[in-house]
Structure 1
Amino acid sequence: MHYASITDRLADLGSGKWALHIRARQMKETGLDIIELTIGEPDLPPDERLLAECQRAMLAGRYRYSSGRGEPAILAALAAKYAKRRADVTEENVLCFPGTQTALFCVMLGLVEAGDAVLVGDPLYATYDGVIQSTGAHRVTVPLRPQAGFHMQAADLEAAITPACRVLLLNTPHNPSGAVLNRTELAAIGDVCRRHNLWIVCDEVYEELVFKGSFASPFDNPELADRTVVVSSISKSHAAPGFRSGWAVGPVDFTRRILPLSETMLFGVQPFISDMTAYALTHDIETSRHMRASYGARASRIAEALAGAPGLRAHPPEAGMFILVDVSETGMTGEAFAWALLEEEGVAVMPGSSFGDKAASFLRLSLTVPDALIEEACLRIRALAMRCVSRRERRA
C-alpha cells in the first residue's frame, strides 16, 4: 500500500530517541530499583487554584467547541503578557495551541517546505528534527560549543547559512544545556537574521526557570518584530505538561496566514483548559519560583557531587530542568555510558546523542526528582565512571 513521504521522513524520529527512558519504565514496572532522570516532568503538582478553575469551567459548561484562534480570556491574557515585553502586541498577534509541540509543528509547516532549510543549534531538543523534516525542509546545524557555555555565536550562525535557509529555530533558555542567551548575543544573532532575511522562531518554554542571569528574547526587540515568532506553554512554568496548553505569538500577517492552517488541524483547544491557562497567566502563582529554587540547587548539588569524579565533567545550567555531564574521558560515548548506567547501576538518564551530534559525549540528567534520589544517583554515576576509567587504564 502507498504511504505519504512524511512517514518515511519521520520513521526514525519518534519514540526511538526515548528508547532508554521506555526501557527504564519497563524495568521499573518489574519492581527494579530504578532512579529516573530522563524526562523534564515537574515534580510539583499544578497549583490547586488552577485545578479548581479547570473544574469550575467544566462544571459551567466550558466543554463545547472553541474559537480556532483561542478563547477570549486566554487571548486577552496572552496579549497582556507579551504587551509588557513589546507595546505593539494585541490579541491579533496570538494563536493558541494544545502545547508547544503542536505550535512548533504548525508554525514550521507554515514557514518552510521541501527545498528549504531551518537553522538550529546543536545540541538541540529531541523533537526539532521531526518538526523540521515533517515539512520536507532539512536541518542546518549551528554548533553550540561547551567552551562558550552552549551559547549560540552570531559568527557560527552566519557561517552555517546556506541559500536554502529560511528560519532560525532558536531555543532560549536552551534544552538540553540550560544556556540563556543575553541581550547582546540576541542582538548580534538578530542582525544576522535581518541581513539574511530569516524568520526567528523562538522556543521559550523555560522562560520562568532562569536561575542565573535574566531572561531575554528576540521578541522584545522592535527591530525584529516583523520576523520573530515565540512559542511557549504552561507545561514547564506552571507544572502542567499534561494539560497541553500552548501558544504562538508573532506578526499580525503571520497569524493571519497561519490561522487557517491551525484551524484545519485543530479548530481550537479545550475551553476549560483555556480558562485555566488564562487564570494561570493573570494570577500570582508560586510554582515557577519554587521550581527555580529547587532545580538551581539540585544542579549545583550534582555539579559538586560529580566534581573530581574520574572521567566526568558537569556543565551547570543557567536555567531549566536539566544538567549536561560530559563522559568522554571515561572512554565511552554518552549512549554507551547511559545504557551501562541503566543496566549496571539502575539509573536512567538521556544519552546526549538524542539531542544531536554535538552532544554525543554527554548525558542529560533531569533535575525533577527529590534531593535524596539526586544524591544516590550521583553515587551510582561516580561508581560506574570509576569502573570505566579503571578498565581503560588497565587496557592502556
Structure 2
Amino acid sequence: MKHRFIAKRYWNAVTTPMGKVADFIREHDDIINLSLGDPDFTTHEKVIQLAFEDAKNGYTHYTDSLGDMELRQEIIRFCKDVYNYETSLNEIMVVVGACHGMHLVLEAILDDGDEVIVPEPYFTPYKSQIELSRGKCVTLETYEEEGFQINVEKLKSLITNRTKAIIINTPNNPTGACYSKTTLESIANVAIENDILVIADDIYGAFSFKEPFVPISSFEGMKERTITIGSFSKDYAMTGWRIGYVMAPSYIIDCIRDINEGITYSAPSISQRAALYAMRMRNIITPPMVEEYKKRAYYAYERIKGISKLSVLEPRGTFYMFVNIKETGLNSAEFCQRLLEEAHVLAIPGNAFGKSGEGYIRIACTVDVDQLKTAFDRIESMEIFRK
C-alpha cells in the first residue's frame, strides 16, 4: 500500500482475511460461505414496508444529530422492558452501525498512548480502531479450556496508570462464549476499583442460548462507567441498513455527537425509521431467528464432533463456532486454504482474531442446515480427514 499519496501510517497496513472474502468468492461458483456474520435472513417485510412508507411521507431529511426521537424513546422502552434498566434520551445516540459507534467512543475517551484491554480472540477491527484513535491495544488472552472466560487475575495484572478501558463482547465473536454472571461481576469490581471504563459490545445480546443475557451496565455502580454499543444488524437482520446506537453517560454522548458532526452528522433517517419498527416488532422478529441459529449451531457442533482431528466447545451463544484444528498439523491459514481448495467452503483463520486464535478457524452458521450438511459432507471428504 506504499505510495507517496498514501499517509505513511497506512503503508504497512495488511488486508485482513475477512477483507479478502469477496476475492475468494469470485473464484468459484459453488462456494459455501461460512466466513462473514451476515445473517441470511432478509429484514422483515413489514419493517421494509413501513420504512418505505415513511420515506414517501418525507422522512428523507437529516434527523436530530443524536437520532430520531421516536427511535431513542423506543430504545429506552426496550432497556426497561427487557433488562429493567433505566436510561434517558441524553444518554443515547443513534449511529451508523456498531463499528461507527466504537470509533466515536474511542475518539472521545483516548488520549495518545492510553491503553485499552481487549480479551483475545477478539473481533478483528478492535485493534485497528484503538490504534486509529492513537491508543494502545493490550490483549488479554482467553483459552478454550477455560471456556474463553476472562481470567480476572490476569485482567488485574494488565492494568497500568494508562489503562482507560476494557472492551467486553458477550456473547462473543468469534468464540461464541458467554461470560458468566460471576465473570461479569468480577469485571465490574475491577473496573470500579481501578476507576476504568467498560465498553460493552452487546450486539449479540439476543443470542445467548443457555442463560438470559444481562448487560454489565445494569450491575450496581456500573451505569456511570459503562459505554454500551448496540446494533440492529444481528437481532433484526438489518446489516445493510447500517444502524446502531451508543448508550453512555451524557457527557460522553455530548462528546461523540460533536465528533460526529464532522463525519456523518446523523445516521440515515430511513434506516432509523426501519430500526424503530424493528424494535417495536422485536417479539415477532427476533425469537424465530435465534431459535433457527441455535438449531444450526448445534447441528454444526454435532458434525464437528464426528470429524477426527477437529473439536469445538458446545454452543453457548451467537452463530459462530470457533473450531480447534490443531490436531491437523496445519496452521489456521493453511487449513482455510485447503478448506477452500478442496471443499469449496470459506471460513476465517483464527489468527485473524489475534495471535491466540492460531490453531482455530471461525465458521458462521449463516446458511441453512441443508447447506451446512453439504459443507460438512465436503469437509469430511477432505484428504486430511481420510488418512
* TM-score where L is the length of structure 1: 0.92
**1:19-48 CA deviation, whole Å, 9 max, x = no partner?**
5523321123xx3x2111111111111111
The 8 Å contact of residues 86 and 221 in structure 1, kept in 2 or not, is answered as: no
Query: Of residues 203, 212, 221 in structure 2, which corresponds to 1:205?
Result: 203
| Paired AA for residue 306 in structure 1 | I
Given the alignment, which residue of 64, 73, 76 partners 1:67?
Answer: 64
Q: Is the 8 A contact 1:109 1:135 kept in 2?
A: yes
Look up the match of 1:34. Answer: 31
1:214 aligns with 2:217: no
Give distance in 2, aligned partners of 1:156 and 1:248.
28
Distance in 2 of aligned mates of 1:157 and 1:277: 36
Task: Name the residue aligned to 1:21.
Answer: 21
Aligned residues of 2:97 and 2:245 also touching (Cα < 8 A): yes
2:374 is matched with 376
Q: Is 2:316 aligned against 1:318?
A: yes
Q: What's the CA shift for 1:50? A: 0.6
Q: Which residue of 1 aligns with 2:177?
A: 179
Match for 2:79 among 78, 82, 98? 82
SS at match of 1:264: coil
Task: Answer whether contact 2:101 2:229 (CA < 8 A) is retained.
Answer: yes
Separation in 2 of the partners of 1:83 and 1:251? 17
Q: CA RMSD in A?
A: 1.8
Going from structure 1 to structure 2, the CA distance change for 1:79 and 1:126 (only over 3 Å counts) comes to: same
**Cα offset, 1:316, TM superposition:** 2.8
Q: Note the residue ranges of structure 1 that are not aligned, 5 or more in a row.
A: 391-396
Cα deviations across residues 81-133 of structure 1 (Å, max 9, x unaligned)? Answer: 22443554111110110100100111111111321111011000111112111
Larger displacement relative to structure 2 (50-59 or 287-296): 287-296
Q: Which amino acid aligns with 1:7?
A: Y
Inter-partner Cα distance in structure 2 for 1:61 and 1:249: 28
Of 230-239 and 77-86, the range deviating more from structure 2: 77-86
Please give the alpha-carbon distance, in whole angstroms, between the structure 2 residues aligned to 1:178 and 1:239: 18
Distance 1:82 1:215, change over 3 A: same
Q: For residue 307 of structure 1, what is the amino acid of its counterpart?
A: K
SS at match of 1:247: strand
Farther-moved stretch of structure 1 (56-65 vs 254-263): 254-263
CA distance in 1, matches of 2:20, 2:370: 22
Cα gap change, 1:5 to 1:167, in 2 (>3 Å) = farther
Distance 1:316 1:235 in 2: 24
Deviations 1:269-306 (A, max 9, x none): 12222111112222344332122111111111112112
Q: 1:306-340, CA deviations, whole angstroms, 9 ceiling, x for partnerless residues?
A: 22422111223311121111000111111110111
Identify which range, 80-89 or 337-346, moves more after superposition. 80-89
User: Matches of 1:98 and 1:228 in 2, distance apart?
Assistant: 20
Distance of 1:43 and 1:2 partners within structure 2: 39
Give matches, 1:46-65, under 5 Å: 46-65=43-62
Map residues 244-393 of structure 1 onto 2, 5 A cutoff.
Answer: 244-384=242-382, 387=384, 390=387
Which one is further off, 371-380 or 78-87? Answer: 78-87
Query: What corresponds to 1:393 in structure 2?
Result: none
Q: Which shifted more, 153-162 or 340-349?
A: 153-162
Percent of paired sites with the same residue: 23
Task: Give 1:153 shift.
Answer: 2.3
Instruction: Tell me the residue number matched to 1:7.
Output: 10
Structure 1 residues 67 and 6: alpha-carbon distance in aligned structure 2, compared to 1, 3 A threshold = farther
Aligned to 2:186: 188
Residue of structure 2 equivalent to 1:160: 158
Residues 182 and 215, structure 1, Cα contact 8 Å, conserved in 2: no
1:94 paired to 2:122: no
Q: Hey, what does 1:394 align to over in structure 2?
A: none
> Retained in 2: the 8 A contact 1:6–1:136?
no
Write the distance in 2 (CA, Å) between the matches of 1:363 and 1:316: 15
Q: Note if contact 1:238-1:287 (Cα within 8 Å) is conserved in structure 2.
A: yes
In structure 1, what residue type is equivalent to 2:59? R
Q: C-alpha deviations, 1:363-389, integer Å up to 9, x for none?
A: 1111010111111211222233x5268
TM-score norm. by structure 2 comes to 0.94
What is the aligned counterpart of 2:40 among 40, 43, 46?
43
Aligned residues: 383
Q: Which of 95, 107, 110 matches 1:109? A: 107
Runs of 4+ in 1 over 4 A off after TM superposition: 1-6
Distance in 1 between residues matched to 2:47 and 2:38, nearest whole Å:
18
From the superposition, tell whether residues 8 and 260 of structure 1 become closer, same or farther in structure 2 (CA, over 3 Å).
Answer: farther
**Does the residue aligned with 1:339 lie in a helix, a strand or coil?**
helix
Matches within 5 A, 1:131-142: 131-142=129-140
